[in-house]
Amino acid sequence: MMPDETIVAIATPLGEGGLAVIRISGAQAFAIADKCFQPVGKSSLKPCAAPTHTIQFGKIVRDEKIIDEVLLAVLRAPRTFTREDTVEISCHGGLLPAKLVLDALLTNGARLAEPGEFTRRAFLNGRIDLAQAEAVADLIHSRTELALAAANEQLAGKLSQRINQLRDDLMLTLAHVEAHIDFPDEDISPDTKDKLLQRLENGISFMDELLRTANEGQILRRGIRAAIVGRPNAGKSSLLNQLLGRDRAIVSPIAGTTRDTIEETANIRGLPVIFIDTAGLREARDEIELEGIRRSRESLASAEFILHVLDASEPLTEADKNYLAEFADKKRILVLNKTDLPIKLVLPVETINLQPATCSACSLSGQGIEALKDAIKNLVWAGEIKSEMLQVMINSRHQDALNRARTTARQATDALRADATLELVAMDLRIAANAVGEIVGKTTTEDLLDSIFSAFCIGK
C-alpha cells in the first residue's frame, strides 16, 4: 500500500440497482475526476473548482464518449472519512455503468483500492483508532439491532475511551517506577507504593470486566451456531421455517426429505442465531442419504448448541434413546414437537435428571415457538441485555491483547508487592501497556494491520 497514491473503488455492492457509488481518495482525486467529468448546466463546476461538500451534476466521459450521467460529490480534506481529498460519484446502478466509470478513473491515474484501504487510511491519518476501524466492519456485517447498536457504540469511541484510560494508568505507574530506577537512593514510600498497587489492581479489575464481555461480543458479531437434529420426520424442517418466519426448507411427510444441511440466520431476541437444518439421523438407505448424515455429523461437531427435536406423538424409540445419550454432553434444548396430537412420548428418567431445557411446540401451527425463542436466548446469553454492556463488548483480538496485558500486569503487581527488582516491574508494565495499546492501534505492526483490513470489502 502506497499512502501517496490516489485510490478508487466501487463502494456499493455489485449487481443491478438504482445507484452505484464510486469513491476516489487521495491527493490527485480532484485532478483525476476533472479529466473524466463534464459539468452540465451553468452552476455545475469541475471538481477542482467546486467548493467542498457540494454536489455537481454532469457526465462521465471517456475517449469523447459519454458513459453515464452522474452526481459528483466534492469533499475536501480534512473533513472527509479518510482525511484526504475525496470524490464520490453516484452513477446508475448495474455492473456495466459502474465498471465503465471505474475504468475511466483508473485510466486517468487512480489505483484500484485494496480491501479496507479507505478505512485503513482513515486510521493512519488519525480520523479513527483501530478499535473504531474494526467497528466499521462490524457495522456493515450487523445482522440484528443489538449487533448494530454495539458496533455504533464502538465506532463512537466508547470502548476506545476506556482502553485509553487503562493504558494511561499503566503508563503513569510505569513512569513512577522508572523514576525510582533512575534515582535508586530514593525508596518508594509506603504511601506511594499503596497508590501504585491500587491503580494496578483497579486496572486488572477493569480488564476482567472487559474479558467477561468477550463471549457475548463474539455472539453479536458472528452469531452462534445451532444444529437442529433428530430422527427423520420429527419436524425439524417445519421448526426451522417457524423460527425463520418463512418457508425455507422443504416440508414433506416422507421421511428423509432433507438430504443436505441448510443454514440460515434468524434474529432471536436480538441475537443472530445460525440454524442448521440437518438430515434425519438414522441408518442411511443410499449414498446420497449417507452423505447427508455425514454432513449432519459435521454440523453437530461445529455447533455451539443443538435443538434436539422429538416427535411427542410417538413413543420413544431406541434410536431416540441413543441420540439422547449421545448428545448428553452437548448444550441443548429438547423440543417436544407435534403437541397438537395426542402425547405418547415419555422422557427417560436419566434424561430428566440431567435437566436439559425442554420446550413443547407445534411446528405446524407455531404454538410454543415464542417460548422456544426465550429458551434459546436464555441458553446462550445469561441475564438481561443492557445498553451499557454494548459499549464495551470486545472481539477476539481485543481478548488476546487483554489476556496478555492482564498476565503481565498481575506479574508486575506481585513483584512490586514483594519488593522485587524494579527493572522487572518496569518490563512487565511496559509489556502490559503495549498490549493494551494494540487494541486502539497505539502499538501496531504492518502484519496486524494487514490481517485486520484484509477482511474488509474493497470499497470500504
Backbone angles phi and psi of 59, in degrees to 5: -130, 145
Per the structure block, which three cell numbers stand in for 426? 518496569
Task: Tell me how far apart the alpha carbons of residues 310 and 236 are, in angstroms, rounded to a whole number.
Answer: 9
Of 324, 332, 333, the residue nearest 372 (C-alpha): 333
Sign of CA dihedral 202, 205, 210, 211: positive
- Name the more confident of 116 and 189: 116
Task: Tell me how far apart the alpha carbons of residues 382 and 209 are, in angstroms, rounded to a whole number.
Answer: 15
* Average pLDDT over every residue of 269-276: 87
* Average pLDDT over every residue of 65-84: 95
Question: pLDDT tens for residues 202-256?
Answer: 999 999 999 988 888 888 888 888 888 888 778 888 888 888 886 665 444 444 4
Task: Tell me how far apart the alpha carbons of residues 160 and 126 are, in angstroms, rounded to a whole number.
Answer: 13
Full strand arrangement of the beta sheet holding 224-230: 262-268, 271-277, 224-230, 305-311, 332-337, 357-360
Please, which pLDDT band fits residue 291 given cuts at 50, 70 and 90?
Answer: low
Domain at 7-128, CATH class? alpha beta
Place of cell 464495551: 392
* pLDDT score at 252: 45
Q: Which amino acid is at 259?
A: R
Task: Tell me how far apart the alpha carbons of residues 73 and 91 are, in angstroms, rounded to a whole number.
Answer: 11
- Name the more confident of 287 and 334: 334
Of 239, 231, 228, 232, the residue nearest 362 (C-alpha): 239
CB contact burial 253-270 (16+ within 10 A = b; e otherwise): eeebbbbebbebebbbbe
* Average pLDDT over every residue of 329-350: 87
Of 357, 318, 359, the residue nearest 338 (C-alpha): 359
* pLDDT score at 256: 46
For residue 51, pLDDT over 70 is answered with yes
Alpha-helix residue ranges (DSSP H) falling in 261-420? 287-302, 318-326, 349-353, 369-380, 387-390, 396-417
Please, which pLDDT band fits residue 11 given cuts at 50, 70 and 90?
Answer: very high
- How far lies 29's CA from each of 20, 52, 60, 111, 392, in Å? 18, 13, 15, 11, 37
Q: Which amino acid is at 33?
A: A
Bridge partners (DSSP) listed for residue 272:
267
Per the structure block, which three cell numbers stand in for 9? 473503488
Of 170, 302, 317, the residue nearest 230 (C-alpha): 317
- Measure CA of the first residue to CA of the last residue in the chain; give whole Å: 15
Domain at 223-380, CATH class? alpha beta
381 C-beta neighbours (distance < 10 Å), count: 19
Q: Cis ω on the peptide bond leading into residue 184 (within 30° of 0)?
A: no
Task: Tell me how far apart the alpha carbons of residues 361 and 51 are, in angstroms, rounded to a whole number.
Answer: 63
Task: Tell me how far apart the alpha carbons of residues 327 and 229 are, in angstroms, rounded to a whole number.
Answer: 10
- How far lies 49's CA from each of 33, 46, 88, 152, 155, in Å? 11, 5, 16, 35, 33
Bridge partners (DSSP) listed for residue 36:
none
Contact 430, 443 (CB under 8 A): no
For residue 337, pLDDT over 70 is answered with yes
* Average pLDDT over every residue of 259-276: 80
Backbone angles phi and psi of 14, in degrees to 5: -70, 150
Of 127, 48, 135, the residue nearest 82 (C-alpha): 127
Provide the CB-side half-sphere exposure for 33 (13 A, CA).
Answer: 35
* pLDDT score at 293: 65
CATH superfamily of 132-213+392-441: tRNA modification GTPase MnmE domain 2 (1.20.120.430)
Task: Tell me how far apart the alpha carbons of residues 150 and 73 are, in angstroms, rounded to a whole number.
Answer: 30
pTM confidence score: 0.78
- Name the more confident of 248 and 124: 124
Domain boundaries, the chain: 7-128, 132-213+392-441, 223-380
For residue 160, pLDDT over 80 is answered with yes
Mean pLDDT for all residues in the chain: 86
Q: Which amino acid is at 6?
A: T
Task: Tell me how far apart the alpha carbons of residues 307 and 243 are, in angstroms, rounded to a whole number.
Answer: 12
For residue 279, pLDDT over 90 is answered with no
* pLDDT score at 185: 61
* Average pLDDT over every residue of 169-187: 83
* pLDDT score at 384: 64
Task: Tell me how far apart the alpha carbons of residues 320 and 315 are, in angstroms, rounded to a whole number.
Answer: 9
Task: Tell me how far apart the alpha carbons of residues 236 and 294 are, in angstroms, rounded to a whole number.
Answer: 17
Per the structure block, which three cell numbers stand in for 109? 491515474
- Name the more confident of 278 and 60: 60
Question: pLDDT tens for residues 372-406?
Answer: 999 998 888 876 666 666 777 888 899 999 999 99
* pLDDT score at 28: 96
Task: Tell me how far apart the alpha carbons of residues 247 and 256 are, in angstroms, rounded to a whole number.
Answer: 18
What percent of the chain clears pLDDT 70, i.e. is strictly above it?
Answer: 89
* pLDDT score at 186: 64
Lowest-confidence pick of 104-118, 161-175, 185-199, 335-349: 185-199
